[in-house]
Amino acid sequence: MAIINTERLKELAKKRLQGTISSEESEQLDAWYNQPVPKVIEWGSGDRNERELKSRLYRHLLQAVGLPDGAMAAHPGYKLWAPLVGVAAAMALVLFGIWFFNSGPSLEERSREIAARNDVPPPANTTTLTLANGEIIPLSNTKDGIVIGNSGLKYTDSSKVTVHHPGQELIVNTLQGSTYTLTLPDGSKIWLNTASTLKFPSTFNKLNTRTVELRGEAYFEIAKNAAKPFIVQSGRQVLRVLGTHFNVNTYDYGVDVKTTLLEGSVQVNLLQEPDQKKTLKPGEQASLSKRVLHVVKADTEAVMAWKRGDFVFVGDDLETIIHRLKNWYNVEFEYVGKKPTLNMTGRISRKAKLSKVLALIEASGKVKFKIEGRKVYVMK
């Protein structure tokens, strides 16, 4: 079958949407769409909210067709042109802009080519606990979390953490490629994402508030205690909660500090602008950019993907994707020549080898990668 160029695809999709497509054209479009080859979305121009809307529509389309939860836009073999959603798929194609058709090497072949001298496997879990006296204790990489109680520290499986005098202040730090769970003395649970740090007291007794400090990203499920509010200090903002579920992302490679509420209520306050504060409702997200708070409807599925062990890209540009991969795989990226430009939406497990993730991105036809040691070369 001959390759259909982008403009022809858009023309056929519009005809199907308008009901003016001929039987021959319909067969041509369906034949292209049923090819088991990588197809990657490249978004057109538009503001951030438009891209997020398009992404949500795309994921709803995946669900309508019945794709498994691990699907990614660049994955080969997934067919979105099922008869029951033919018109919806055509509409999505028009809304989303441009689909790239790539009949080149398979993803496995791309992955082997990208790896070159060696591949980068998903990293081992490496998390440390820093005591008040500065002593650093490596936490077991075979456990998934610790519980801080009045009787001391233990792992979530009840085995003990060997600490004689933890002191008042504790710091848990996840290295690149690691996540860890903490249960605080009040019963609150915190999931710490990769390359993140949480500072907190070993007990909340005799304290008026339950105050913690976050750098990086974490998801919180806070135990209710109206007499003792829970405070999260994270860079330029302070969150005040009584009992709620929310996610905070303060990674410095992003433009905004994002707070997403899933359940309950949370108040977002700016340190340098005390008059600026917002109270979030479930399903809302506060974005802090240039000392201004904006509240938008949250894409909670994308926000919480990291906790489920996935990468989810929501119309993300290449620079943002690279920062996230650096944060997880602990590698450096170096551009060779002119920087490629693309935006992608998709999902893939964080347990995948780096070459597999890069192969999916490379299937766009917009960028090429080559791994050498702990460095990844990025080429147009």
DSSP 20: -
Q: Evaluate whether 110-121+315-379 and 127-303 have a shared fold.
A: no
The residue ranking higher by pLDDT, 271 or 321, is 321
The residue ranking higher by pLDDT, 187 or 26, is 187
Residue-level pLDDT at 103: 34
10 Å Cβ neighbour count for 297?
A: 13
| For residues 345-365, average pLDDT | 85
Query: Confidence class of residue 47 from pLDDT cuts 50, 70 and 90?
Result: very low
Does residue 52 have a pLDDT over 60?
Answer: no
CA–CA distance, 137 with 102 (Å, rounded to integer): 49
Mean pLDDT highest for which of 26-30, 118-122, 218-222, 256-260? 218-222
Of 45-49, 93-97, 111-115, 309-313, minimum mean pLDDT range: 93-97
Does residue 229 have a pLDDT over 90?
Answer: yes
Angstrom distances, CA of residue 328 to CA of 66, 68, 323:
29, 24, 9
CA–CA distance, 10 with 360 (Å, rounded to integer): 23
Domain 110-121+315-379 classification at class level: alpha beta
Residue-level pLDDT at 14: 66
Q: Where are the domains of the chain?
A: 6-108, 110-121+315-379, 127-303
Residue at token pair 């003792």:
228
Q: What share of the chain is helix, strand, coil (3-state, %, to 5)?
A: 25, 35, 40
Report which of 361, 354, 306, 309 is spatially closest to residue 332, judged by C-alpha positions.
Answer: 354
Q: Are 208 and 176 in contact (CB under 8 A)?
A: no
CA–CA distance, 230 with 259 (Å, rounded to integer): 15
- Residues in contact with 263: Cβ distance below 8 Å, sequence separation at least 6, in sequence order: 244, 245, 246, 282
C-alpha R_g of the chain: 23
- pTM: predicted TM-score of the whole model, two decimal places: 0.73
Domain 127-303 classification at class level: mainly beta
> Which residues are 171's β-sheet partners?
130, 199
The residue ranking higher by pLDDT, 2 or 23, is 23
Crossing angle of the two packed helices 86-96 and 48-65, in degrees rounded to 10 = 160
CA–CA distance, 133 with 169 (Å, rounded to integer): 9
CA–CA distance, 8 with 335 (Å, rounded to integer): 33
10 Å Cβ neighbour count for 177?
A: 19
Q: Are 141 and 129 in contact (CB under 8 A)?
A: no
